[in-house]
Structure 1
Amino acid sequence: MTTSHETSRQTPDFHLHINPFGRLTYSDATGIEHPDVMPVRAYPLSDPRHWVSLCDREGRELRCIEDLATLPPDVRAILENELAQREFVPRILRVIQVSSYLEPAEWEVETDCGPTRFVLKTEEDVRRLGPHSALILDSHGVRYLVPDTRDLTPYGRRAVDRYL
């Protein structure tokens, strides 16, 4: 006997695999392969299980997946692994020091992945996500999440709030 969850899972008319170079490859219903595909979540923070686009090298959408739960486990595992690698976003737990309030500024922080330093190129690389959260983009394109500025020390709050 199958459950309703199992019957909602369909065999997709596409295939995903990792090529010999370690890159995600998408094969459409006609069998045409598209190497170097990037999965992109439409709502990565608010609804990460739905609306994932597979985009080609130029950023054009090849396919949109409405719900990851409808995919077979092997396809879903490949896609979730690729998304996890692409969406590596350390959480800033503590701001230890900011070299200057003029950009570029070197930040020394403690994250959930350990201590690190990064360079903030411009104040536009700090974006508010909600009333008390922010996303910081460093000079190498690594994103850092400040989940709640109220959890930072007064020094850390002032450092982040200065850019918001």
Structure 2
Amino acid sequence: MITAPDYRLQRNAFGRLELTTAGGETHTGVVPVRAFPISAPDDGIGLVDPHGRELAWIEQLSELPDEMRALVESELSGREFIPEIRRLISVSSFATPSTWQVETDRGTTTFVLKGEEDIRRLDSPALLIADSHGIHFLIRDRYALDAPSRRFLDRFL
């Protein structure tokens, strides 16, 4: 495994990420993967080949040169989709399955919560909610939600 100063990262003519080692070996189709995407998103990022083999390790995203960091962040944002819930607008029923209308950092949406077990407690006060289609929604701090949102949520916790 190699570390950040020992390689070069760039996009090829097809828009795929390429990692070139100090020895001149080039790996195409490299994918960045966060070790702790929610609790420490900027710490511990592996660069893996299309077969899942780790090629390089980034201890902290901030240690990369600006251009390389922008490439990694761009690739991660296209790969990871976890909208953050800012407010619960309505809940169809306090029994499951129920339809939730929420406001996220990416707009307003509606999803179906199949069961209370689809609400996972992370490091307090964070929650991860999976909808009926497997899309995950993050509540980073449930205590920071407005009072009506907390009341809706408390019925399911």
On whether the aligned pair clears a TM of 0.5, the verdict is: yes
Aligned to 2:83, which of 90, 98, 114?
90
* Aligned structure 1 segments of 4 or more residues deviating by more than 4 angstroms: none
8 Å CA contact 2:19–2:28 kept in 1: the answer is yes
Relative distance call for 1:34 and 1:108 in structure 2 (3 A) is same
Q: How is 1:1-164 mapped onto 2 (pairs within 5 angstroms)?
A: 12-29=5-22, 30-35=24-29, 37-100=30-93, 101-103=95-97, 105-153=98-146, 155-164=148-157
Task: Look up the SS of the partner of 2:5 in the other structure.
Answer: coil
Q: Structure 1 unaligned runs (5+)?
A: 1-9
Task: Look up the SS of the partner of 1:12 in the other structure.
Answer: helix
Distance 1:116 1:27 in 2: 41
State the number of aligned residues. Answer: 153
8 Å CA contact 1:11–1:72 kept in 2: the answer is no
Q: Identity of counterpart residues, as a percentage?
A: 48
Residue by residue over 1:98-151, the C-alpha shift from the partner in whole angstroms, topping out at 9 and shown as x without a partner, is 234323x32211123221112334444321123332111234443322122233
**TM-score, length-scaled by structure 2:** 0.74
8 Å CA contact 2:27–2:49 kept in 1: the answer is no
AA at the equivalent of 2:63: T
Q: Structure 2 unaligned runs (5+)?
A: none
- 1:7 aligned residue: none
**How much has 1:79 moved relative to structure 2?**
0.8
**TM-score, length-scaled by structure 1:** 0.72
AA at the equivalent of 1:102: T
RMSD of Structure 2 on Structure 1 (CA): 2.9
Residue by residue over 1:66-125, the C-alpha shift from the partner in whole angstroms, topping out at 9 and shown as x without a partner, is 13333222212101222233334322122122234323x322111232211123344443
Distance 1:18 1:40 in 2: 17
AA at the equivalent of 1:27: T
